[in-house]
Amino acid sequence: MKERTKLTELTAITPIDGRYRDRVVDLASHVSEYSLIATRIEVEAKYLIALSDIKIVRPLKRNERSKLNSFGSNLTLQSARKVKRIEEETRHDVKAMELVFRSLVKGTSLEDITEMIHFGLTSEDVNNLAYRLMLKRATKHICVPAIDHLVTELVDRAEKYKSTPMLARTHGQAAMPTTVGKEIIVFAARLNKELRDLKERELTGKLTGAVGNLNALQFAYPKIDWLSFSQNFVRSFGFRPSLATTQINPYEDMIAHFQNYQRINGIIIDFAQDMWRYVSDDWFVQEVRTGERGSSTMPQKVNPIDFENGEGNLTMANGIFETLSRKLSTSRLQRDLSDSTTIRNIGTVLGYSFVGYTSILNGLSRVRPNEEQIAQDLNKDWAILAEGAQTIMRTLGVDDPYSLMASLTRGRHIDEAQWRTLVDQLPIPEENRKTLRNLTPETYLGNAVEITERAIEEIKS
């Protein structure tokens, strides 16, 4: 029974740290509890340097500054575990981190400034910066490259198949021709826009004390311009300073990030569902890999499991993003602790997202258009050319051509020969009749190719 409680990939409660651990291991270095502790220490250490710069802490030597700057990145797992042990007694995670930080300074040339660790701060002064650093770094180094990779893969396929005719469906019914590449580039363009927004999105930071007024610091050193200090310190992390706060830094900036991710995930879910349907219709075929099984009982099956897995995990992610966005926008009076336990799910929600991204990428790498089947289904029903015929007749002044074409085509499946017979019945000049007789599903593509090329050019730029 003891083996079942020891934390491993097999005993983990969540699939992120269990089934998918090998896929999120790089993400863990940014958003784990270990990373949170290390990032808090990084903030605390840089705060000491900032206090030295305004002469509240003695001048620091170059090697002392370097040592302080390395405390966070060099934090050992042993020290992080010590924080957790102390937390069992203090029941306060930031205080436990502070006590361990003090122990790291002990016995060094920095020991004389120990009492300035966490000087005049509230936990949220450290936490708000730490969590935003984690979100910023995980986004930049893990999630953005994966989404960027997906956009690149979509662009490559759109370029390759930009001229491959395909039946478009609206309401699930045969509508008119499009191209494989054009339908793919739609998703690339949507993702690219949201990805640019995510890259450029700004985060905020605060250092304003227990209820947002810098009371302790202002009381201890009234001649210091603490508002400027606060702003400069926050800017040193690449964040926009928040001065009007309660104990917490308002979460609207993080909520904006989460909603950006929600839109990205929604686009990818949309893509996954379309690909699932294309595979189901045999318009895309999947690579068969030796040793894989599509069913425990049906030997013939090759399932689109990567698109299904991606859809499922991104749906989970968006559910958590929705919860975070709803919860974090409110805080009772100057603060309550419900945001603290909620915001810890940054790793979970980015984990589900990243698993989704990698699943979709894997699925995309294993499929290709079944051009023969796509062409066969495209040419199965020439009624999809009815729009072109009624539009031409409008230009010729034919009375109510829409109703005329509806009476000839609606609810019917028309082959090539029937189409030509139908065209011969239309009340139009011979020149226009010839044009419609020569029209085919492969040629009635509008500007699909040009639209694809322009979208590719814009994305690449």
For 200-218, write each residue's pLDDT tens digit: 999 999 999 999 999 999 9
Confidence band of 3 (pLDDT split at 50, 70, 90)? confident
d(CA 385, CA 208): 66
For 285-307, write each residue's pLDDT tens digit: 988 776 666 655 566 667 788 99
Residues with active-site annotation: 171, 295
**Percentage of residues in the chain with pLDDT exceeding 90?**
92
| pLDDT of the residue at 330 | 94
For 113-139, write each residue's pLDDT tens digit: 999 999 999 999 999 999 999 999 999
DSSP helix/strand/coil, 367? strand
CA 277 to mean position of chain CA atoms: 23
For 305-352, write each residue's pLDDT tens digit: 899 999 999 999 999 999 999 999 999 999 999 999 999 999 999 999
For the chain, percent helix, then strand, then coil, each to nearest 5? Answer: 65, 5, 30
Does 453 score more than 60 pLDDT? yes
Q: What is the mean pLDDT of residues 372-391?
A: 96
Cβ neighbours around 212 below 10 Å, total? 20
| pLDDT of the residue at 29 | 93
Tokens of 454: 């322009």
Output the CA–CA distances (angstroms, integers) from residue 266 to 43, 273, 311, in the order listed: 34, 11, 9
For 224-242, write each residue's pLDDT tens digit: 999 999 999 999 999 999 9
d(CA 126, CA 205): 10
For 83-98, write each residue's pLDDT tens digit: 999 999 999 999 999 9
DSSP helix/strand/coil, 3? helix
Buried b (16+ CB within 10 A) or exposed e, 112-147: ebeebbbbbbbbbbbbbbbbbbbbbebbeebbeebb
d(CA 283, CA 373): 6
| pLDDT of the residue at 287 | 81
Do 307 and 272 meet the contact criterion of CB atoms below 8 Å apart?
A: yes
